[in-house]
Amino acid sequence: MRYTASHWGAYQFDGNGLAPVSDDPAPARIGRGWLSAARDRNSRILTPAIREGWLAGDGGAGRGRDGFVSVSWDRAAGLAAQELARVRDAHGNGAVFAGSYGWASAGRFHHAQSQLRRFLNLCGGFVGARDTYSHAAAEVLFPHVLGLSNRAVQDGMTSWPLVAEHCTLLVAFGGISPRTAQINSSGTAGHEVAGWLGRLRARVVNISPQDSDYPGADWWAIRPGTDTALLLALAHTLWAEGLQNEGFLARCTSGWSEFRDYLSGAADGVAKSADWAAPLCDLDAARIRALARDMAANRTMITLNWGMQRADHGEQPLWAGLALAAMLGQIGQPGTGFAFGYGSTTAVGRPAKLYDWPSLPQGRNPVADFIPVARIADMLENPGAPYRYNLTERRYPDIRLVWWAGGNPFHHHQDLFRLERAWRRPETMIVQDHSWTATARRADIVLPATTPLERDDLMLSRRDPALIYMSQRIDPMGLALDDHDILRRIGTELGVAEAFTEGRDTQGWLRWLWDGTRAEAERHGTDLPDYDRFREMGRFDMPDAGDTRVFLQDFVQAPAHHPLPSESGKITLFNTAIARAKLPDCAGHPAWMPPFESLLDAPEGALHLISGQPDTRLHSQNDRGVESQADKIDGRESCYLHPETARAHNLTEGTIVRLWNARGACLAGLRLTPTIRLDCVALPTGAWFDPDEDGLERAGNPNVLTRDIGCSTLSQGNTAHTTLVHIAQWHGDLPPLSIAQPPAIRQG
Ligand SMILES: Nc1nc2c(c(=O)[nH]1)N[C@H]1C(S)=C(S)[C@@H](COP(=O)(O)OP(=O)(O)OC[C@H]3O[C@@H](n4cnc5c(=O)[nH]c(N)nc54)[C@H](O)[C@@H]3O)O[C@H]1N2
Ligand SMILES: Nc1nc2c(c(=O)[nH]1)N[C@H]1C(S)=C(S)[C@@H](COP(=O)(O)OP(=O)(O)OC[C@H]3O[C@@H](n4cnc5c(=O)[nH]c(N)nc54)[C@H](O)[C@@H]3O)O[C@H]1N2
Ligand SMILES: [Mo]
């Protein structure tokens, strides 16, 4: 049997197509659009291409408007090498930005960012990016309050079978959704979250602006952006009624008295009571108090999704949720306590062993400089400007060359019209991608990469027992090359090709990776077949002991023997390092701060925009495939609105609407659903950014509406979920999409 794999699942070859592996209990919808997207000649980059204006020396002004010249690989590789050498000689490697954030593809070897980092490290280094768009607030906060990285927290999440068995009240902030559980970074052979949800015996409360985030649960339609207020009110009720577990607080936390003084109002004169929170959250005070009592009376798990912290003050709901769970004193016990990210991907809480599979060695980056990942436009616009991040003062580098492989900033970044302006500043933009994404269309040197369907690779996912030999399914489109080959060619010009390849071709590297895989499996007591045998089998399943774990169990059982590596050795409800920094937007304890814009002080008619992950794609990937296209209305992304709101705004289902605010405007198709709050509109991310000359985005990309500002000076995470918009019927002619066709390309 032959297989391939993706972040949305593992597939076996099936006639002319692909079928999800037969033991996957809930194959992802996303896979249905994969082959058609990969074969779409209108969106695949077929040859290397150079932007016309750049060749004419326009300094970047024409990015996003220009056509391209199709060139040979020799020419393209030569130009890329020449630009890197020029910028490096004139300005040093600190002028090269290759943060290159993005999901690229599953597969250990052909991981575009890893390839690019390895290559640039051999060329003297680059300015990188810290943290992720997924959960930057968590990545910066957890090391302070728990002494643990977010990766360690995610790895340590209490396993689903224990939640199913022991939990009697599951309070899910932002829900737990099989929609997002379609994905596992670096692949999965099985989608199990829906199955686990079916086995829960707990009462489930879904605290979310959307009922659809956990269908069938008790829906509390909270006003978005106010979860911290609710969490504090639940904590306040526990304290006011003497329901907190003082023994746990004393043994396992530090700073309870400071946090208590904040809750009670002793610190600032405002009691964070249910009556205080109710009007903020648009919930009933008596119900809030009742839920707090239920939490204390039950075996309770508090879980927050990742999305909640992609918002202004994104650290606060996390920290407040942790503090509330600490007051309940059920952290460290099976099936109860605190969780972050159940359902946000399929692997969180999965009862499996964790493996440290090998990956492509990236070498060492001689450049120490970096930016927080979502501060790219700030960096491009303000070289040398000071900013704060993670309790340090830093300055933005002066970037002349940007090199992106395996990511799509014109998908993932906020306020795309601002990014468009900032993006014109550097001297040279190099992009490796397989498709004419909005980012590739804004590059000077465009290098066509293969998709995973066009090459062999290995799926080795540390949280999934299936090991897959990914076989090539289709011929490379046009002149596309594997990222490794692209960089090898450029490396030849720069004299680093040999160091880059170490004399191995793809098969050589896959064998090398498999050797490391066998060694790791042996450490876990499993003998793996040799490489040739594995390649023939296509799949090997590690014995899945169904390993379960309980978050923070060792620490809670013996805090003195297993202290947390935090400043107090305990869970810090008050953190002295953060407090001492006197940040304007993050106190020493969890606290409520109103978001910079919200329904709490919205102009008449404004709606809150929820721009979550799309059901039909992985971000912008496969958007041109059949599954994503079938969900659109006249080729525009569908947005979701409550029927009553549609009536009040005179909007008709199935027609085109315009969404706008001061930052931008886009078109979208309209669908109605009673599963969303009356004052919210949901427009998933991922439609390819396609603005016309007048600044109207035509495809339905929500990131022309979101604001580009850090969620605090602590983490500088993105604030995509803090956005207000207006909506109206679109009466004009429907402008054609330009992203449905390749850009203008002439033969060079
Ligand atoms: N408004 C709003 N914005 C958001 C979010 C949100 O919730 N709301 N979510 C954020 C989050 S959590 C994330 S993770 C980001 C995701 O942002 P990205 O990860 O940037 O989005 P993708 O569309 O997955 O981009 C991956 C790119 O890699 C390319 N690619 C795939 N395989 C290969 C390969 O083998 N080689 C090369 N060279 N290229 C390849 C794809 O064609 C695609 O262009 O978006 C963020 N943006
Ligand atoms: N199908 C699919 N699955 C994916 C991805 C994809 O692109 N497609 N991307 C993957 C990636 S990279 C990531 S990081 C994860 C992200 O996983 P999540 O962050 O969990 O996903 P989101 O869709 O951003 O948000 C989930 C829900 O949060 C709710 N929400 C928004 N604002 C608030 C709020 O203020 N309060 C409350 N209580 N709820 C709120 C929204 O109703 C939204 O539906 O998803 C992964 N899974
Ligand atoms: Mo993400």
612 lines ligand 1 (CB under 6 A): yes
Task: Give the pLDDT score at 135.
Answer: 98
Whose Cα sits closest to atom 18 in ligand 1? 102
Distance from residue 86's CA to the centre of ligand 3 (Å): 34
| pLDDT of 371 | 98
How far apart CA 248 and CA 347 sit, in angstroms, is: 29
pLDDT in tens, 147-177: 999 999 999 999 999 999 999 999 999 999 9
User: Are residues 360 and 348 part of one domain?
Assistant: no
CA of 444 to the centre of ligand 2 (A): 33
List, as ranges, residues with CB under 5 A of the ion ligand 3. 134
Do 84 and 141 lie in a common domain? Answer: no
One domain, residues 299 and 198? yes
Residue 353 has pLDDT above 90, yes or no: no
Q: Is 466 helix (H, G, I), strand (E, B) or coil?
A: strand
**Residue 345 alpha carbon to ligand 2 centre in Å:** 9
Closest CA to 312 of 711, 746, 717: 711
Whether residues 143 and 122 share a domain: the answer is no
Taking the CA of residue 222 as reference, the ligand 2 atom at the shortest distance is 38
Residue 518 within any structural domain of the chain? yes
Do 141 and 127 share a domain, yes or no? no
Q: pLDDT for 186-224, tens place per residue? A: 999 999 999 999 999 999 999 999 999 999 999 999 999
Query: Do 116 and 198 lie in a common domain?
Result: no
- Residue tagged 């952290």 (tokens): 331
**Atom 8 of ligand 2: nearest residue by CA position:** 618
Q: Atom of ligand 2 at shortest distance to CA of 618?
A: 7
Report the distance separating Cα 55 and Cα 690, nearest Å.
24
Would residue 17 count as lying in a domain? no
Q: Ligand 1: which atom is nearest the Cα of residue 621?
A: 23
**561 and 537: one domain?**
no
Residue 108 and residue 187 in one domain? no
Q: What residues contact residue 249 under an 8 Å CB cut-off, 6+ apart?
A: 256, 326, 327, 329, 573
Query: CB neighbours (10 Å) of residue 491?
Result: 21
CA of 186 to the centre of ligand 1 (A): 13
Cα angle at 456 between 451 and 462, to 5 degrees?
Answer: 90
- What would the mean pLDDT of 530-540 be, rounded to a whole number? 98
Q: State the pLDDT confidence band at 544, using cuts at 50, 70 and 90.
A: confident
Residue of the CA atom closest to atom 30 of ligand 2: 174
| pLDDT (average), residues 333-362 | 96
pLDDT of residue 546: 76
Is residue 140's pLDDT more than 70? Answer: yes
The predicted pLDDT at position 450 comes to 98
Instruction: Please tell me the residue having the least CA distance from ligand 1 atom 38.
Output: 433
- Asked whether residue 455 carries a pLDDT value surpassing 80, the answer given is yes
Domain with residue 674: its CATH number is 2.40.40.20
Stretch 91-106: mean pLDDT: 96
Q: In terms of domains, do 329 and 286 share one?
A: yes
707 with 632, same domain: the answer is: yes
Predicted local confidence at residue 49, as pLDDT: 98
Q: Does the beta carbon of 706 sit less than 6 angstroms from any atom of ligand 1?
A: yes
Residue 468 lies in a domain: yes
Residues with a catalytic annotation lie at 101, 103
Q: Six-digit token pair at 29?
A: 């919808």
Mutation to probe ligand 2, out of 180, 345, 631 (largest number of atoms < 8 A from CB): 180
Distant-in-sequence, close-in-space partners of 377: CB < 8 Å, separation ≥ 6: 413, 415, 418, 419, 422, 423, 708
Q: What is the pLDDT of residue 303?
A: 98
In a domain, 444, yes or no: yes
Ligand 2: centre distance to CA 306 (Å): 6
**CB atoms near residue 493 (< 10 Å):** 17
* Structural domain for 482, as ranges: 40-132+356-541
CATH of the domain at 380: 3.40.50.740
Residue 313 CA to ligand 1 center (angstroms) comes to 24
Average pLDDT, the chain: 97
Tell me which residue has its CA closest to atom 45 in ligand 1. Answer: 412
Q: Indicate if ligand 1 lies below 6 Å from the C-beta of 405.
A: yes
Length of the chain: 748
Question: pLDDT tens digit string along 695-730?
Answer: 999 999 999 999 999 999 999 999 999 999 999 999
Final residue of a structural domain among 493, 518, 541:
541
Give percent above pLDDT 90 in the chain. Answer: 99
For position 545, what pLDDT does the model report? 66
**Ligand 1 closest atom vs CA 447:** 38
Contact 44, 35 (CB under 8 A): no
The Å distance, Cα 619 to ligand 1 centre, comes to: 5
d(CA 352, CA 354): 6
Give 47-94 pLDDT, tens digit per residue: 999 999 999 999 999 999 999 999 999 999 999 999 999 999 999 999
Atom of ligand 2 nearest to the CA of 307: 19
In a domain, 526, yes or no: yes
Q: Is 449 in the pocket of ligand 1 (CB under 6 A)?
A: yes
- SS3 assignment, position 454: helix
Query: Does 710 lie in the same domain as 561?
Result: no
Nearest ligand for residue 625 CA: 1
Best mutation site among 111, 348, 434 for ligand 1, i.e. most ligand atoms within 8 A of its Cβ? 434
Structure letter (DSSP) for residue 515: H
In-domain check, residue 26 = no
Q: What are phi and psi of 454, to 5 degrees?
A: -110, 15
Residues 6+ away with beta carbon under 8 Å from 263: 232, 235, 236, 239, 271, 272
The answer on 575 and 654 residing in a single domain is: no
CATH code, 557: 3.40.228.10
Task: Please report the atom of ligand 2 found closest to the CA of residue 617.
Answer: 8
Structure tokens at 228: 């911290």
Q: How far is the CA of 102 from the centre of ligand 1 (A)?
A: 5
Asked if pLDDT for residue 133 goes beyond 70, the answer is yes
Q: Assess whether the C-beta atom of 47 lies below 6 angstroms from ligand 1.
A: no
Residue 590 within any structural domain of the chain: no
What token pair was written down for 423?
């993006």
Could you tell me if the CB of 622 is within 6 A of ligand 1? no
Q: Tokens 């607030």 map to which residue? A: 137
Residue nearest ligand 2's atom 26 by CA: 307
Residues having CB within 6 Å of any atom of ligand 2: 30, 134, 173-174, 179-180, 182-183, 207-210, 213, 222, 224-225, 227, 305-308, 311, 344-345, 610, 612-615, 618-619, 721
Rg (CA), the chain: 25
Within 120-202, strands assigned E span 128-130, 169-173
State the pLDDT at residue 280: 98
Per cent of the chain over pLDDT 70 is: 100
When divided into structural domains, the chain yields a total of 3
**In the prediction, which pLDDT does 748 show?**
86
In a domain, 594, yes or no: no
User: Looking at the CA of 308, which ligand is closest?
Assistant: 2
